[in-house]
Structure 1
Amino acid sequence: KLVMISNTIIHTNREIIIVTSSTTKAKLWRDTIAHELSEGEKNFLSIHGKSLQDFTDSYLLVKSLQKQLNEALQIDFKTVKPVSENYLDNLEIYSANISDNIDQLKDWVSWLNAKDLAIKGGLSSVVLAYESGKIDSMHVMNAYKKGLYRSCAEYIIQREPALSLFNGKLFEDKIRRFREMSNYFEKLTKEELYAKLAAKIPDFTKEASQSSEIGLLQRTIRNNGRAMPIRKLFDSIPNLLPRIAPCMLMSPISVAQYFDAAGPKFDLVVFDEASQMPTCEAVGAIARANNMIIVGDPKQMPPTSFFSSSNIDEDNIEKEDLESILDDCLALSMPSKHLLWHYRSKHESLIAFSNSKYYENKLLTFPSPDDIATKVNYIPVAGYYDRGKTRQNAFEAKAVIEEIKRRLSDPILSKKSIGVVTFSSVQQTLIQNMFDELLRTHPQLETIAIDNPEPIFIKNLENVQGDERDVILFSVGYGPDKEGKVSLNFGPLNREGGWRRLNVAVSRARYEMKVYSTLRADQIDVTRSASEGVASVKAFLEYAEKGRSTLGVKKTGAEFIESGFEKLIAEEIRKHGYEVHTNIGCSGYRIDIGIVNKEKPSEYILGILCDGNNYSAAKTAKDREITQHEVLKLLGWTLHKIWSTDWWENAERIMEEALVAIRNAELNKDKFVEKPQPEVIKESDNIPLAFNNSDQIEVVTVKEDTSVKTEYMVCNLEIVMSTTSDDFLQYGNFQKIKDQIKSVVETEAPIMKNLLVRRVLTAWGIAKLGIRINAQFELLLSEVDLNKTDVDGNIVYWSETLNPEDYSGFRVYTLMN
């Protein structure tokens, strides 16, 4: 009993210290109690007993009420921050607050029910964060989603070994090996196809009996085809012909002329540019094949109908042909495949107008590193259109010729091929005449123009389809006349479907387009004409003048779905002082992140690709990892890859790698800049130049140094007496061509590939390197064992007597040569 009393006294003393919060006050309280109890316990209880009992009952009642409130309202008063140091004052304040807010009781009960359901649903962490004030009401749902998504992500990553064990570096190495295997497989497939076709070529020596098809063919060749029309020859060698010519390139008229419809059929006939092929002309070729592929664009040029009859049989209108074989096939709902990837234009601005205006932004184009600035430039020309007399615009023609002269006179610009497109044939004739005069008065420019692998063309809307050049110079021609009046007669563009001609014309450029015009978009009043072609001209001029802002935004697919991952990375990079753009491009394909060049704000210095929406939109692994990557590289992008799984594991490390990639791109930004090569002319040559000061040709005079000078020896190949360029493709001439290649290299090495090709083709009287000639030359070149090096992207061939590593001399091209 004594121990119990002692423990009670100790506990009471502790409670007194807690209540008074001071040992001094506790001692004073003990002294006061001791004084009151000095006259005995009974005397103390007789005086204060009722008060003590009332206090005890009140305290127990308050405790009971607190418990009931705690159970009813689920309020733990121990966790409520006290307002006053006095316990009773706090009770009074709590009670007053509850009484004053009794009208919110229903809301509180609703919250309690929601809280109970949330806790039962496993959301206790969200409830606790909300109740503690760490998140407010506006962000509760986002906090919940973040937690849910994170839990789901962790669950999925843990369950999937491909994700849990993912390593970006190892995966990129796998991609590299995939590219190598794919390229090897493509090469192997070509070689296999070549081998199969070559194996079918007969031995002309062993099989050449007089009665055989080979004998007949050889006799016909020896007598130059006398008394043997081509059609009769083809009919006579039905088994030999597909063996020696398994693929034939012919016009529909030639097919009907040279092949009997009752003869053996081709396995496949392919129609290219089918929008220009009338159905009646295509039927003959279709009848001579088992299968057909129709390739064309219904939004480009229809068949030319200048001289065709416009008579229509109204009684049998359902039997009338449509404009082209392509239109008829589409009308019959034949199985079709849309080719959506656009490769020609090396800058999106060159195809953006057509893509938006005619293709509903469905073409997949690729942004270039200089995508910030446009490559479609409007050049206003002061002048007028001679509407009443010549129907020409001499002012635009002169501006176009001056631009051609400037480009041919510049060592760098002259490397880009040039095409001129006009709205009318009379404007084409004027520019052609002025261009011929330019070359006549500046013969050195003619040499430069001829040396370009692609000659300069000057065409109009009607005949430019199928052509393309690096730079297109556009002459509108039409415009205000001498009195300032604007006629809305734009020739073929006013006809039905004239907009298709414009679509063809404005999509011919690879790198740049310049629009020369005396006409402004605001001078065209579309309310005066119902022609869609007139409206298209106005829209195109607006685009050339003002840029992409005139096209508007057409949402076509997943590319407009915002991705927080790319935005998060972009924000982190911006914190390090870089200007960052996201979702770069104006079609279905986008670069996720672009870092703007600080020194040249019109260009991107680095592109960052992520594995988000743009990555998953590609349908095949080859599209994602090979095609897109190669196209972007060709456009000049420096690329860095960020994988979301790596970011999830270690965001700081991935960000540091991205910053290193940016800094490396800044250091290497000038590595591939093309430097102008000055023309070197020996002082003693004294070659007269017909350039004036504005021609801007840099001429460097170099004094003769006999210690390193060597005279450049030109290999003058014997002219081959051939009738057509097809002779170059004949098997019997292959060895001769190889010998010519060896002779040129032996004489002129070191020699660049372009010059080597030109030397050989000149001997065969071939002026233009077409697709077939180029393919054959590449094949023969690969069969000749030559030492070659790559110098800034140019292939240089060396003779056996020269070592590229030790070569340091130079050669002088003399007047005699």
Structure 2
Amino acid sequence: RQMPPTQFFGRMLGDTSSEEGSLEMQAGDVESILGLAIARNMPQRMLRWHYRSKHESLIAVSNREFYDNQLYVVPSPERSGELGVKWRFVETGRFLKGRNEIEANVVAEAIIRHARECPQWTLGVAAFSVTQRDAILESLAKLRRSNLELDSFFDPNAADPFFVKNLENVQGDERDAIFVSVGYGPGEDGKVSLNFGPVSATGGERRLNVLMTRAKRVLQIFSSMHAEDIDLTRATGRGPAVFREYLRFAEKGGEFDAARGGRSSDRFADVVARQLEERGYSVVKQVGLAGLYVDLAIIDPDNSSRYLMGIIVDGETWSSARSARDRNRTTDGVLQSQGWMIHHLWSLDWFRRPTEQLQKLVETIEAACNGRSAPKEARLASTVSDVSRQSGTPDPFSTSLEAENEKKPGGRKRATQEK
């Protein structure tokens, strides 16, 4: 789903024609080697793991619009805050003579602010047009002359140097933070033109896909227009339609339904969630966007913008993994690389010793709240002790353990009372 190659050099050299019906013409009609392979009915396999984004919102629209929600997107322990898609509306911005000077000034000021406040994060800026790119560079040059102490941030010899590019030149780049300057907006008459340059051309939607997936941590969109300004009855092609979806998503703050309180169909996870909620914890089920989910996530009681810990159970999602490596190594590895603290619950352990397992889980959560790591058990799930549940006792998968737990008080309620 990358950008198609440009015909610029072919036009310059006059090398755009060939003999009709020749093999060269047949290959030349296809825009890429991938397209040629597909035309020859070669076997296909999709690379489904998305590795770049540190927050699901950065890939949410592209996953829906271009990949049919088939990507495996690693959920982030950050519920909100500084990561993800951000929206910056430039109310006074005007698109005049092919550029938006006011928006360019706002972007340049944001660049200086980033260099001063977040120099540890690499930054790239992408504009929808060459003229808007030049306007940003001109405004930035003026600001840099009065902020010489920030010159080290703009060092062109850095490992991942700062850049300002136009949409068609950004493929292959990635940075911690990406600022996108739309540029287009109301003209002198207050109306928005529906000609969005390369976005309106054939393949414009793929240019957008490349542009909007360059960020690893933060994608901030600067725009002088709203999604509703794009009238799809007048704008033709898929590019403007996808552009409108990106703007709408950003305006909503990068919110997506799949990772905000989705219902779990796993009975074991539902029981555990209910037990934790009865003890005062805030629990979110099925956290994730696509492909990879955390069964239960505990919201940090001291910082509601992040998850304190994730809980993986051996339920339907766990058992549907294609291999033991995917279940026990890959999932944990990628989640921990995103900053998750993961705790595993085994259903057989819970069934045989529900009170003990719940108490251990509460202790693990409390240890995480206090900034400590709970001790790990050496045994595997398959080496549970032979402690049978007595006949006539409650089913730990369907009833509350509150009565039994009165003998062993614990959880946030007890901790709060002690305080």
> TM-score with structure 2 length normalisation?
0.81
Q: Which moved more, 1:467-476 or 1:443-452?
A: 443-452
What SS does the corresponding residue of 1:462 show, helix, strand or coil?
A: helix
Q: Which residue of 2 aligns with 1:404?
A: 111
In 2, the alpha carbon distance for the partners of 1:378 and 1:608 equals 32
Q: Which residue of 1 aligns with 2:49?
A: 341
Q: Which residue of 2 aligns with 1:636?
A: 339
C-alpha displacement of 1:399: 1.1
Q: Which residue of 2 aligns with 1:494?
A: 200
Decide whether aligned partners of structure 1 residues 337 and 613 sit closer, same or farther in structure 2, where only a CA change above 3 A counts. same
Is the counterpart of residue 577 in structure 1 residue 280 in structure 2?
yes
In 2, the alpha carbon distance for the partners of 1:668 and 1:583 equals 25
Summarize the alignment of residues 236-247 of structure 1 with structure 2, pairs less than 5 Å apart: none
In 2, the alpha carbon distance for the partners of 1:339 and 1:580 equals 32
What SS does the corresponding residue of 1:409 show, helix, strand or coil?
A: helix
Is the counterpart of residue 653 in structure 1 residue 356 in structure 2?
yes
In 2, the alpha carbon distance for the partners of 1:473 and 1:356 equals 22
Q: Which residue of 1 aligns with 2:238?
A: 532
User: Which ranges of structure 2 fall in alignment gaps of 5 or more residues?
Assistant: 374-419
Q: Which residue of 2 aligns with 1:697?
A: none
In 2, the alpha carbon distance for the partners of 1:384 and 1:658 equals 53
Match of 2:129 among 406, 421, 424: 424
In 1, the alpha carbon distance for the partners of 2:58 and 2:184 equals 22
C-alpha displacement of 1:320: 5.0
Is the counterpart of residue 521 in structure 1 residue 224 in structure 2?
no
In 2, the alpha carbon distance for the partners of 1:644 and 1:333 equals 46
C-alpha displacement of 1:546: 1.2
Opposite residue 87 of structure 2, the aligned amino acid is Y
C-alpha displacement of 1:438: 3.0
Decide whether aligned partners of structure 1 residues 305 and 581 sit closer, same or farther in structure 2, where only a CA change above 3 A counts. same
In 2, the alpha carbon distance for the partners of 1:363 and 1:313 equals 41
1:346 and 1:635 in contact (8 A); partners too:
yes
Q: Please identify which structure carries the higher helix content.
A: 1
Summarize the alignment of residues 256-655 of structure 1 with structure 2, pairs less than 5 Å apart: 299-309=1-11, 311=17, 320-371=28-79, 375-387=84-96, 389=97, 391-410=98-117, 413-450=118-155, 453-547=159-253, 562-655=265-358
C-alpha displacement of 1:547: 4.3
Opposite residue 384 of structure 1, the aligned amino acid is G
In 2, the alpha carbon distance for the partners of 1:466 and 1:629 equals 29
**Cα offsets for 1:464-501 (capped at 9, x unmatched):** 11110001111001111122111001000111111000
2:282 and 2:299 in contact (8 A); partners too:
yes
> TM-score with structure 1 length normalisation?
0.42
C-alpha displacement of 1:662: 0.8
In 1, the alpha carbon distance for the partners of 2:2 and 2:295 equals 32
Opposite residue 490 of structure 1, the aligned amino acid is F
In 2, the alpha carbon distance for the partners of 1:474 and 1:525 equals 22
1:593 and 1:608 in contact (8 A); partners too:
yes
In 1, the alpha carbon distance for the partners of 2:204 and 2:335 equals 34
Identical amino acids, percent of aligned pairs: 39
C-alpha displacement of 1:315: 5.5
In 2, the alpha carbon distance for the partners of 1:628 and 1:621 equals 10
In 2, the alpha carbon distance for the partners of 1:306 and 1:407 equals 35
1:417 and 1:452 in contact (8 A); partners too:
no
C-alpha displacement of 1:452: 5.6
Opposite residue 396 of structure 1, the aligned amino acid is E
C-alpha displacement of 1:375: 1.7
What SS does the corresponding residue of 2:168 show, helix, strand or coil?
A: coil
In 1, the alpha carbon distance for the partners of 2:27 and 2:223 equals 44
**Cα offsets for 1:11-61 (capped at 9, x unmatched):** xxxxxxxxxxxxxxxxxxxxxxxxxxxxxxxxxxxxxxxxxxxxxxxxxxx
C-alpha displacement of 1:648: 1.8
C-alpha displacement of 1:552: 7.1
In 2, the alpha carbon distance for the partners of 1:308 and 1:581 equals 54
C-alpha displacement of 1:433: 2.6
In 2, the alpha carbon distance for the partners of 1:328 and 1:569 equals 51
In 1, the alpha carbon distance for the partners of 2:294 and 2:197 equals 41
What SS does the corresponding residue of 1:420 show, helix, strand or coil?
A: strand
1:415 and 1:452 in contact (8 A); partners too:
no
**Cα offsets for 1:349-408 (capped at 9, x unmatched):** 111111111111110001111135672111111223333x2x111111111111111121
In 1, the alpha carbon distance for the partners of 2:159 and 2:216 equals 15
In 1, the alpha carbon distance for the partners of 2:8 and 2:200 equals 14
Decide whether aligned partners of structure 1 residues 429 and 594 sit closer, same or farther in structure 2, where only a CA change above 3 A counts. same
Q: Which residue of 2 aligns with 1:746?
A: none
C-alpha displacement of 1:615: 1.9
2:122 and 2:176 in contact (8 A); partners too:
yes
Structure scoring higher RCO (CA < 8 A, sep ≥ 6) equals 2
In 1, the alpha carbon distance for the partners of 2:233 and 2:19 equals 34
What SS does the corresponding residue of 1:415 show, helix, strand or coil?
A: coil
Decide whether aligned partners of structure 1 residues 320 and 512 sit closer, same or farther in structure 2, where only a CA change above 3 A counts. closer
Decide whether aligned partners of structure 1 residues 319 and 631 sit closer, same or farther in structure 2, where only a CA change above 3 A counts. closer
What SS does the corresponding residue of 1:368 show, helix, strand or coil?
A: coil
C-alpha displacement of 1:627: 2.7
Decide whether aligned partners of structure 1 residues 585 and 494 sit closer, same or farther in structure 2, where only a CA change above 3 A counts. same
Opposite residue 544 of structure 1, the aligned amino acid is A
2:123 and 2:175 in contact (8 A); partners too:
yes
In 1, the alpha carbon distance for the partners of 2:257 and 2:283 equals 23
What SS does the corresponding residue of 1:477 show, helix, strand or coil?
A: coil
- Give aligned pairs, total: 363
User: Which ranges of structure 1 fall in alignment gaps of 5 or more residues?
Assistant: 1-298, 554-558, 671-817
Whose radius of gyration is greater, 1 or 2?
A: 1
Decide whether aligned partners of structure 1 residues 311 and 426 sit closer, same or farther in structure 2, where only a CA change above 3 A counts. same
C-alpha displacement of 1:628: 2.3
What SS does the corresponding residue of 2:308 show, helix, strand or coil?
A: strand
In 2, the alpha carbon distance for the partners of 1:452 and 1:632 equals 29
Q: Which residue of 2 aligns with 1:729?
A: none
2:264 and 2:285 in contact (8 A); partners too:
no
Q: Which residue of 2 aligns with 1:15?
A: none
Q: Which residue of 2 aligns with 1:25?
A: none
C-alpha displacement of 1:611: 1.5
**Cα offsets for 1:173-217 (capped at 9, x unmatched):** xxxxxxxxxxxxxxxxxxxxxxxxxxxxxxxxxxxxxxxxxxxxx
Opposite residue 327 of structure 1, the aligned amino acid is G
Decide whether aligned partners of structure 1 residues 320 and 616 sit closer, same or farther in structure 2, where only a CA change above 3 A counts. same
Opposite residue 495 of structure 1, the aligned amino acid is A
